[in-house]
Amino acid sequence: MHVRKDDIVEVITGDDAGGAKARTTGRVLRVLPDKGKVVVEGINRVYKHLKPSRQNPQGGRLSKEMPIDASNVLLYCSTCRRGVRIGKRYRADGSKERYCKKCTNSLGTLSKPRKAYAKKS
If one asks whether residue 103 binds Zn ion (CB under 5 A), the answer comes out as yes
Q: Which of 98, 72, 103 is closest to 86 using CA atoms?
A: 98
If one asks whether residue 77 binds Zn ion (CB under 5 A), the answer comes out as yes
Phi-psi region of 78 (alpha: psi -120 to 50; beta: other; left: phi over 0): alpha
Kindly state the number of chain residues that form the binding site for Zn ion, as judged by CB under 5 A: 6
Q: Which of 80, 87, 93, 111 binds Zn ion (CB under 5 A)?
A: 80
Which range in 12-20, 46-54, 68-76, 99-107 contacts Zn ion by CB under 5 A?
Answer: 99-107
Q: Which of 35, 61, 64, 102 binds Zn ion (CB under 5 A)?
A: 102
Q: Which of 79, 106, 109, 111 binds Zn ion (CB under 5 A)?
A: 79
Which range in 1-9, 22-30, 85-93, 97-105 contacts Zn ion by CB under 5 A?
Answer: 97-105
Determine the Cα–Cα distance for residues 16 and 47; give it in Å rounded to an integer.
Answer: 15
Determine the Cα–Cα distance for residues 45 and 68; give it in Å rounded to an integer.
Answer: 10
